[in-house]
């Protein structure tokens, strides 16, 4: 059965619309902790919600179908997904990561992972020479974000997959910024795909969730055992919220992306803007690679202002746009990476990456694009 992605967003992987004997069109929320046993040694297929719950399962099957995965676990946050993934490693193992990375991931690697005896090196993964230079005998995995956060650098996933295969490494891809609607890393050779479901998948800035999708049965079994043992599974109600969000993922992302392109072009013409970072602009260094591996550049972009004062003025004067962390939702948000998402990244690393006090990140939502541009225009103006 090979239905199109839009259809699978609504009807899930295997099942059609019919879900239970009531024929409820919206999949029910099984708000229960436990399930009665049918008899001695007999189970309905569900015993206890940490291990399995129909609403969560329906969501996991949907995400597996969208990512072309063998199996997916739905977890309580994107950070839980990264943490579960890192439980695959042993003390002494070494992992090579994109240097421009979600700040929470860097914090996890510098604290918990280090305490657990893992070593993590950062490389500009848009340059395979740099990745190769970091290889060690104990290297076990490549951990990639493309586009990266917040600089929107693009990494060639096919090249990473080739290197991973050659050296027997796991290729792990954080696909949060493009979602399965625009990019499917497993089809390009990734072993594990993770998502913060708090972003495009739920899409409404109303819940926190995470996903970890495995390309093979062997990996899926290991991940599922770690997930149910450590216990960070997604609750039934939140599973339902994300299921509902995914139904409109394609239309949301298409419109948000269209607006983001227009805003990126508009920003690049403003005297107070020095540079725009968006892989949908042909002058972006990763434009061609992104085009060969993704179906778009998404709706998150960053830009550098001419001064710290301009950056601060924008953050203080936006009215329609909310000054807040996060991305991928219906509401347009503006983020200050240096004090918010990337505050825990060591300052020297931030400087090296260009995450300075003049860098702003914008997540374009579903308001009319003209209203978003007008809000940015009035916020940039010097007069009060």
CA distances from 133 to 110, 130, 144, 204 (A): 21, 5, 16, 41
Closer residue to ligand PLP (CB): 194 or 267: 194
Please identify, among the stretches 9-17, 43-51, 193-201, 265-273, the one whose residues bind ligand PLP according to the rule CB under 6 A: 193-201
Strand-pair partners of 196: 210
Beta strand 192-196 with 170-174 is: parallel
* Residue choice 57, 64, 77, 363 for contact with ligand PLP (CB under 6 A): 77
Question: Cβ 44 to ligand PLP, closest distance in Å?
Answer: 31
User: Which residue's CB comes closest to ligand PLP?
Assistant: 78
Q: How many CB atoms lie within 10 A of CB 10?
A: 15
Closer residue to ligand PLP (CB): 208 or 345: 208
Contact between 102 and ligand PLP per CB under 6 A: yes
Contact between 301 and ligand PLP per CB under 6 A: no
Contact between 74 and ligand PLP per CB under 6 A: no
Beta strand 273-277 with 210-214 is: unpaired
Greatest Cα pair distance in the chain: 76
Token duo for residue 50:
């940490």
Closer residue to ligand PLP (CB): 203 or 210: 210
CA distances from 162 to 148, 184, 189 (A): 20, 16, 8
Contact between 103 and ligand PLP per CB under 6 A: no
- The yes-or-no answer on residue 174 being catalytic is yes
CA angle 154, 155, 161 (to 5 degrees): 155
* Residue whose entry in the numeric block shows the structure tokens 């508009």: 266
* Residue choice 49, 153, 198, 213 for contact with ligand PLP (CB under 6 A): 198
Long-range Cβ contacts of 104-107 (<8 Å, 24+ apart) = 104/78, 104/79, 104/341, 104/344, 105/79, 105/143, 105/174, 106/342, 106/344, 106/345, 106/349, 107/344, 107/345
Q: How many CB atoms lie within 10 A of CB 288?
A: 12
- The yes-or-no answer on residue 199 being catalytic is yes
Contact between 272 and ligand PLP per CB under 6 A: no
Which residue out of 30, 56, 100, 102 is catalytically annotated?
A: 102
The whole-angstrom separation of Cα 6 and Cα 24 is: 20
- The yes-or-no answer on residue 124 being catalytic is no
The whole-angstrom separation of Cα 174 and Cα 177 is: 8
- The yes-or-no answer on residue 247 being catalytic is no
* Residue choice 54, 210, 280, 298 for contact with ligand PLP (CB under 6 A): 210
Q: Give the x-and-dash track for 129-148 against ligand PLP (CB under 6 A).
A: ----------------x---
CA distances from 71 to 13, 103, 211 (A): 11, 27, 10
Closer residue to ligand PLP (CB): 64 or 148: 148
Question: Cβ 313 to ligand PLP, closest distance in Å?
Answer: 26
* Residue choice 55, 62, 139, 196 for contact with ligand PLP (CB under 6 A): 196
Contact between 208 and ligand PLP per CB under 6 A: yes
- Considering CB under 6 A, how many residues would be counted as binding ligand PLP? 15
Secondary structure class of 252 (helix, strand, coil):
helix
Q: Give the x-and-dash track for 155-174 against ligand PLP (CB under 6 A).
A: -------------------x
Which residue out of 50, 107, 222, 291 is catalytically annotated?
A: 50
Token duo for residue 106:
């860097």
Contact between 78 and ligand PLP per CB under 6 A: yes
The whole-angstrom separation of Cα 78 and Cα 86 is: 13
Please identify, among the stretches 74-82, 112-120, 150-158, 352-360, the one whose residues bind ligand PLP according to the rule CB under 6 A: 74-82
Which residue out of 71, 93, 156, 174 is catalytically annotated?
A: 174
Site residues, ligand PLP (CB under 6 A): 77-79, 102, 104, 145, 149, 174, 176-177, 196, 198-199, 208, 210
Annotated catalytic residues are 50, 102, 174, 199
């Amino acid at each position: 059965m090979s239905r199109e992605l839009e259809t699978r967003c609504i009807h899930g992987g295997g099942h059609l619309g019919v879900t239970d004997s009531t024929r409820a069109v919206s999949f029910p929320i099984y708000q229960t902790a436990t399930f009665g046993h049918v008899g001695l040694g007999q189970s309905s297929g569900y015993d206890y919600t940490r291990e399995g719950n129909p609403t969560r399962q329906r969501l996991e099957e949907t995400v597996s179908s969208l990512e072309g995965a063998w199996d997916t676990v739905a977890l309580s946050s994107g950070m839980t997904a990264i943490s579960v993934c890192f439980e695959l490693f042993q003390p002494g193992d070494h992992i090579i990561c994109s240097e421009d990375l979600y700040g929470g991931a860097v914090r996890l690697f510098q604290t918990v992972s280090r305490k657990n005896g893992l070593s993590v090196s950062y490389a500009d993964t848009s340059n395979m020479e740099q990745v190769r230079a970091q290889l060690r005998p104990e290297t076990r995995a490549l951990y990639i974000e493309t586009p990266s956060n917040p600089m929107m650098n693009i990494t060639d996933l096919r090249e990473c997959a080739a290197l991973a295969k050659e050296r027997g490494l796991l290729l792990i891809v954080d696909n949060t910024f493009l979602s399965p609607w625009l990019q499917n890393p497993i089809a390009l050779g990734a072993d594990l795909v993770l998502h913060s479901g708090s972003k495009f998948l739920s899409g409404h800035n109303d819940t926190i969730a995470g996903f970890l999708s495995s390309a093979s049965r062997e990996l899926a079994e290991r991940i599922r055992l770690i997930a149910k043992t450590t216990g960070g599974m997604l609750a039934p109600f939140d599973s339902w919220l994300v299921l509902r969000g995914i139904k409109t993922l394609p239309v949301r992302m298409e419109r948000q992306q269209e607006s983001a392109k227009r805003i990126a072009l508009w920003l690049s013409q403003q005297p107070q803007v020095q540079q725009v970072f968006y892989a949908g602009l042909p002058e972006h260094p990763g434009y061609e690679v992104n085009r060969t591996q993704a179906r778009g550049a998404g709706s998150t972009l960053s830009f550098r202002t001419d001064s710290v004062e301009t950056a601060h003025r924008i953050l203080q004067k936006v009215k329609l746009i909310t000054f807040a962390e996060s991305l991928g939702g219906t509401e347009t948000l503006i983020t200050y990476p240096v004090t918010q998402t990337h505050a825990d990244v060591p300052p020297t690393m931030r400087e090296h990456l260009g995450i300075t006090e003049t860098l702003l990140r914008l997540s374009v939502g579903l308001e009319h694009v003209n209203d978003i541009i007008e809000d940015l225009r009035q916020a940039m103006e010097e007069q009060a």
